[in-house]
């Protein structure tokens, strides 16, 4: 049910954190994986680890804001592995934080471009290849920030992550009839280099706002991505799936 045998996946943001753990899990479940991120060296280490575990992966470094790169990732999946069945558009970053009146337009654009426009560009080139194989699964990493929580200082990030849910819903409606499922994954605070928990106080705060009183390990979020990628979620499309340790409902 959760197996990805003979499936081909593209995972962005695979050089670190949630994307890295997900690429490894997808490969463990039998998928051939194209791993993406800007840091080639980190991607190469990941490919070597996957190969050591007898999985198949190739790395291709670039910036998700670059449309030529988005297209090249799909071309690589099709050229080297024969097609595309799963795309996990996960690359993202909180960007520079601060109150709206102090936020430079440049900062706003950078955060929106990385988290939202990059995912749109990815989907634009992935959808035709996914349909070519009869559908498949398209997943975006959104966040509780911008959906169930207004976190001060995170306006651009929240707007981008909320935008991904709208993009998810439209794509799910546009391509459901052709067998393509499209979902957003909403992690809670996750213990990755991208988390904003740089001090013990910040970490204690983030842990405390979750019902489970801890942060997630990236492998836990990867398992939810596997659910959305696999046939286990065959009747799930257009959703915003929480894997958030209860941060969205917690009031204690
Ligand atoms: N950690 C959390 O608490 C949390 C909670 C909710 C949602 N999320 C979301 O989860 C996703 C993964 O984050 P993470 O926590 O795993 O953080 P992470 O460890 O910092 O990973 C972020 C990944 O995105 C890639 N990336 C960032 N900007 C990019 C760009 N312009 N072009 C290409 N790749 C880019 C990074 O690769 P390079 O640096 O090599 O380019 C890296 O692989 C993000 O979308 C994040 O917003 C995280």
Condensed to tens digits (0 to 9), the pLDDT of residues 61-92 reads 999 999 999 999 999 999 999 999 999 999 99
Confidence (pLDDT) at 212? 98
User: What is the overall mean pLDDT for the chain?
Assistant: 98
Q: How confident is the model at residue 196 (pLDDT cuts 50, 70, 90)?
A: confident
Query: Distance, CA 189 to ligand 1 centroid (Å)?
Result: 13
What is the phi/psi pair of residue 207, to 5°? -60, -45
Ligand 1 centre from 207 Cα, in Å? 19
Q: Which atom of ligand 1 is nearest to the CA of 187?
A: 6
d(CA 74, CA 130): 10
6 phi and psi angles, rounded to 5 deg: 65, 10
* Predicted confidence band of residue 185 (pLDDT cuts 50, 70, 90): very high
Per residue in 205-220, pLDDT (tens digit) is: 999 999 999 999 999 9
Q: How far apart, in whole angstroms, are the C-alpha atoms of residue 205 and residue 100?
A: 22
Q: Is the pLDDT of residue 10 over 90?
A: yes
Go through 208-232 and write b for each residue having 16 or more CB atoms within 10 A of its CB, e for each that does not.
ebbeeeebbebebbbebbbbbbbee
Domain count along the chain: 1
Residue 250 lies in a domain: no
Q: CB under 6 Å to ligand 1: residues? A: 12-19, 37-39, 42, 63-65, 90-93, 114, 141, 143, 187, 189-190, 192-195
Please say if 175 is a catalytic residue.
Answer: no
For residue 3, being part of any structural domain is answered with no
13 alpha carbon to ligand 1 midpoint, in Å?
A: 5
95 alpha carbon – ligand 1 mean position (Å): 10
Range of the domain at 122: 8-243
Protein residue closest via CA to atom 42 of ligand 1? 13
197 confidence band (pLDDT: 50, 70, 90): confident
Q: Is 43 domain-assigned? A: yes
Q: What percent of the chain has pLDDT over 70?
A: 100
Beta bridge partners of 86: 9, 137
- Rounded to a whole number of angstroms, the distance between the first and last alpha carbons of the chain is 37
Per residue in 136-170, pLDDT tens? 999 999 999 999 999 999 999 999 999 999 999 99
Which of ligand 1's atoms lies nearest the C-alpha of 38? 41
Query: Which CATH number characterizes residue 124's domain?
Result: 3.40.50.720
Q: What is the pLDDT of residue 227?
A: 99
User: In which residue are the tokens 């991120």 written?
Assistant: 37
**Closest protein CA for atom 44 of ligand 1:** 92
Torsion sign, CA atoms 64, 39, 161, 98:
negative
Is the whole-model pTM more than 0.95? yes
Inform me whether the pLDDT recorded for 28 exceeds 90: yes
pLDDT of residue 50 exceeding 90, the answer is yes
In a domain, 19, yes or no: yes
Ligand 1 center from residue 177 Cα (angstroms): 31
Task: Kindly give the number of the ligand 1 atom that is closest to the alpha carbon of 20.
Answer: 43
Please report whether residue 2 resides in a domain. no
Q: Which atom of ligand 1 is nearest to the CA of 193?
A: 19
Residue with the two structure tokens 């998700």 = 64
pLDDT tens profile 88-110: 999 999 999 999 999 999 999 99
């Amino acid at each position: 049910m959760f197996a990805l045998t003979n499936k081909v996946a593209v995972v962005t943001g695979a050089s670190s954190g949630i994307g890295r753990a997900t690429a490894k899990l997808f490969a463990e479940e039998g998928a051939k994986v194209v791993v993406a991120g800007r840091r080639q060296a980190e991607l190469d280490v990941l490919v070597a680890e996957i190969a050591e575990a007898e999985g198949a992966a190739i790395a291709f470094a670039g910036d998700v804001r670059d449309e030529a790169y988005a297209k090249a990732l799909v071309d690589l999946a099709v050229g080297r592995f024969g097609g595309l069945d799963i795309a996990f558009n996960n690359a993202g970053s909180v960007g520079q934080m601060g109150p709206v009146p102090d936020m430079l337009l440049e900062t706003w654009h950078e955060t929106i471009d990385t988290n939202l426009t990059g995912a749109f560009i990815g989907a634009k080139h992935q959808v035709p290849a996914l349909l070519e194989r009869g559908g498949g699964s398209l997943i975006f990493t959104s966040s509780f920030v911008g959906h169930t929580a207004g976190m001060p200082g995170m306006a651009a990030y929240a707007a981008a992550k909320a935008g991904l849910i709208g993009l998810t819903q439209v794509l799910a409606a546009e391509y459901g009839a052709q067998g393509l499922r499209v979902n957003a994954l909403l992690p809670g605070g996750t213990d990755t280099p991208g988390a904003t928990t740089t001090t013990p106080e910040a970490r204690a705060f983030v842990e405390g706002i979750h019902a489970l009183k801890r942060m997630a390990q990236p492998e836990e979020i990867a398992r939810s991505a596997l659910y959305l990628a696999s046939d286990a979620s065959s009747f799930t499309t257009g959703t915003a799936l929480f894997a958030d340790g209860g941060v969205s409902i917690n009031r204690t």
